[in-house]
Chain A
Amino acid sequence: MAFLDCDRIEISDMNRNQNNKENRYKTIFELSPEAIVILDIEGNIIDINGRVYDWLGYKPEEVIGKNIFSVPFLDKENKIRVKENFTLRISGKQVDPYELEFITKDGKKVIGRVMGTPFYCDEKILCVIIMISDITKNKEIEKSLKESEEKYRRLIELAQEGVWLIDEKAVTTFVNPRMVEMLGYKEEKEMIGRHLFSFMDEQEVEIAKQNLERRKKGIKEQHDFEFFKKDGSKIYTSLETSPIMDKNGKYLGALAVVADITQRREMELKIKESEEKYRNIITSSPDAITIADLNGKIIDCNQATLDLHGFSKKTELIGKDAFTFIARKDWPRASDNMKKTMEQGFIKNVEYTMITKDGREFPGELSASFVKDPSGKPVFFMAITKDISERKKTEQAKTEFVSLASHQLRTPLTTINWYVEMLLGGRFGSFKKEQKEYLEEIYAANQQLIKLVNLLLNVSRIELGTLKIKPKRIDVSKVADREIKELLPMIKNKNLKIKKDYIKNLPLVNADPDIMVIIIQNLLNNAINYTPKNGRINLSIEKQEDNILIKISDTGYGIPDDQKSRIFEKFFRADNVAEKEPEGTGLGLYIVKSVIEQSGGRVWFESKENRGTTFFVKVPFN
C-alpha cells in the first residue's frame, strides 16, 4: 500500500517496528468513520478508505489514480471549489473546514464536511490527506429545524392572540406584535423590560401576585384578566398561562397567550342585561307564563302562574307535567294542541277548563309557542295562560241579554201573528173585504217585525262577538236546495225562473250549517225581491282549489255604480230598490258579509244597473 511512503523511505532499518506501525495506521485508516482521500500534489487520488465506498459507492479501483478534478462524485462547481482549496493547501495556506456536495454512484446528493491537511516530508508536501464527515443528516435536521423555527416565529408574529413572556421576576422579556397592538403600543420595545404589574391596576396586581405564585408552583391555568392599555383604557382579556421551568424544575418565568375579549364581554353584558330585562318582564307579567321542556315538563314559571293555580312555591311545580294546570277532561285536546304547536310553532287563545292546586276548576285561555335556538332546534315551550272567568261571565251575560231581549220581543209578536191567523182562518166568522184586508196588513207588518227581530238578533250576536260558529261537514247543495224550496212560493208568485247548476261530486265543507243558511237565504231573498216579474235567477256551486264558490245571479234591478261601495253597510239600501221594495231592512248583506268573514270566507259581487247582479261567496273546505 502506498500509505505513509515517507516513513518507509526514511526508516528502512527498523522494518519490523515499522510494519507494525503501518498496520496500526492502516487499521485506523480503514476503520475511520470518516471518508479519507489521499491526494498527491498533482491532485491524483493515491488512496481511499472503505468508508468512501460505503458512503459514495465507489470502489478504490474505480477512483485510485484518477485526478480529483475529474472524479465522478463531484459536479463541476464543486470541483472548482476543491481545486481552489487544494491549490491553497499545496501552497501551504490554511483552509478552514468547508461543506461540499457529493454525488453518490447511484446519483444521490450527499453533503460532507471537508477537512484537509498537507502531509510534509522534509518540509516538502508529500501528499494531502482529506477527511470528509458525512453531515447530510445533520443538514437535513438543521434545515427542518430552521423551517420549524420559522414557522413558529411566523405563527407567533401573526397570531391573533397575544403572546407574552415574563422572566422569573415578572419582567417582560418577549411580546408578539399582536400583544403590542392589543395594549395599544406601537413597538415591542415599549413593553419589553417592563414589569408585568405596570400594566394593571392595584386590584389586579393583587390577583396577579396570587397567579404568579401558582405559576411558580408549576400550575397552568386559564383565567380572565383586565389590563391597562397605553391610553389608560381597560382591556378585558382571557389568558392561557403556563410556567416555564428548567430541567431541574426551577422557575424561569411564564408564558401567556392572551385573547382580547372586550367585545365578547360587552356582548355578554348586553345579553345579561337583556336576559335580565326579559326575566323581569316574565316575572312581573300579569299573565301567567310557564316554560316547559319538549316533554311538557315545567322548567320555570312566574308568580302569576303560582297565583293563578294556587301554588305558593315554584318548586312545587318544577319538573311536573304542564298538564297539571288543565282539567283531566281536556287532556286529549291539550295533547292534540301540543302536537299542533310543534307543527306550526304556536297556538293561540285555546280555551281549557283549568284547575288550581286544590282542584277548583275555572275557564282559562292558553297561547303557546315553541321556542327555537338560533339554529332552529326546538328548545322549549312557552305558554301564557289567563283566567277568563270574568270574560266568560260577560260573554254569557251578553248572550243571555240578546237571547232574552229577542225572546221578549217575539212573545207579543207571536200573539199578534197567531190571533190574526185565527181570525183570517174564518173559524170565528167571516169578515168584510176591507176588514180582511186590514187584518192582512197587520199580519204582513207583524211578519216584517219578526223578520227584523231575527235580523237584529243576528246583528247583535255578530257585533257582540257572541255568534257561535259550530262547523260540521255539510253538503252546501243540500242547504241551497232547502232554501230554494222554502222560497218557492215567492219565486212562483213573481213567475221567476230559477236554474240550479251544481258540479258533480261536490266536496263536503266544514262550515256552520246555520250560518250557511243565513248566507244562502239572504242572497236568494235579495235576488227574488230585487228581480222584476218573469226574471231569471241562477244558483251555481263550483269547486275551486280549496274552496267552494257559490254564485247567485239575477236579472234584477242591479246596484247603481255610485252605491256599490256602500252595499255591505249596515242599514244601507240602494236608492233604486228602496222605492220598489220598501220592506227591506238593509241588514241582509251586512249580516252575510259579517258571518262569511267570521267563518274565513269571502263575498263580493258584480252588478250592472237594470241588467242584474251576481253575488259570489267563497267558502273554504276547512
Chain B
Amino acid sequence: MIEQTINIKKTLTDKTILIVDDDISASRALVNTFKFEKFNVLVAKNGEEGLKLALEKHPDIILLDIIMPKMDGLLILGKLREDNWGKDVPVIVLTNLNEIEATARAVKNGAYDFLIKSDWKLEDIVKKVKEKLNLK
C-alpha cells in the first residue's frame, strides 16, 4: 500500500501535494507538516508507486526524493515529462544527494527547485511550495 490520502475537514487550500520519499521519518514529518498546512497529501514510498500515483491522481505539486528503490526520482521526473499532464506538473526535488550531475539532470527536466533536505527547514519548504502554487 502506500497510498494515504488525508482528507482535511475544512481545507484552506484545495491543493494536493504528492510526497515521494522512501525515508519513512522524513516522509512522516513532511506529511504531518503539509497536513497541518491544510494540503491534501498523497504519499508514495518508492519511485514506482510515486509515478503511478502521480499519473492517476494528478496532484498540484510533487515533492520528489532521488535515491529510492524500484525507480529513482530523476527517472520518475523524466517519465512525468513524457506524459501529457505530467509535462507541466511542478516538481520540487527534495533530497540529501548533493551532486552536481543530479541537480543538472533535474533542472534539465524542468524541476522547479532542487533542495537539499538537511539544509532546509520544514517551514521554508512549505514556503517554497506555496510560492510555486501562488498561495499565501
Contacts and interface: CB of A to CB of B under 8 A. Distances in A.
A419 B96 contact: no
Contacts, number: 61
A295 B58 CA distance: 58
A422 B33 contact: yes
B123 to A, nearest CB: 7
A468 B104 CA distance: 12
Contacts of A414: 23, 25-26, 96, 117-118
Interface of B: 23, 25-26, 29-30, 32-33, 36, 67, 95-100, 116-119, 121-123
A450 to B, nearest CB: 5
B96 A410 contact: yes
A415 interface: yes
Contacts of A514: 100
A411 B117 CA distance: 8
B121 A415 contact: no
B99 A403 contact: yes
Contact of B26 (A411, A450, A454, A470): A411
Contacts of A407: 67, 95-98
A211 interface: no
Given A411-B23, A422-B29, A457 B118 contact: no
A273 interface: no
Contacts of A399: 99
Nearest to A469: B100
A418 interface: yes
A410 B117 contact: yes
A422 B26 CA distance: 12
Given A414-B117, A422-B29, A450-B119, 20 more contacts: A403-B97, A403-B98, A407-B97, A407-B98, A410-B117, A411-B23, A411-B117, A414-B96, A414-B118, A417-B118, A417-B121, A419-B29, A421-B121, A422-B33, A425-B123, A453-B118, A454-B98, A457-B98, A468-B100, A514-B100
Contact of A410 (B32, B33, B100, B116): B116
Interface of A: 399, 403, 406-407, 410-411, 413-415, 417-419, 421-422, 425, 427, 450, 453-454, 457, 468, 470, 514
Contacts of A457: 98
Nearest to A443: B121
Contact of B100 (A411, A454, A470): A470
Contacts of B98: 403, 406-407, 410, 454, 457
Given A410-B116, A410-B117, A422-B33, A415 B25 contact: yes
A407 to B, nearest CB: 5
Nearest to A415: B25
Contacts of A411: 23, 26, 96, 117
Contacts of A427: 36
A431 B126 CA distance: 24
Contacts of A450: 118-119
A411 B95 CA distance: 9
Given A418-B26, A468-B100, A410 B118 contact: yes
A422 B119 contact: no
A411 B97 CA distance: 10
22 contacts: A399-B99, A403-B97, A406-B96, A406-B98, A407-B67, A410-B116, A410-B118, A411-B23, A411-B26, A411-B117, A413-B118, A415-B25, A417-B118, A418-B26, A418-B121, A419-B25, A421-B122, A422-B29, A427-B36, A457-B98, A468-B100, A470-B100
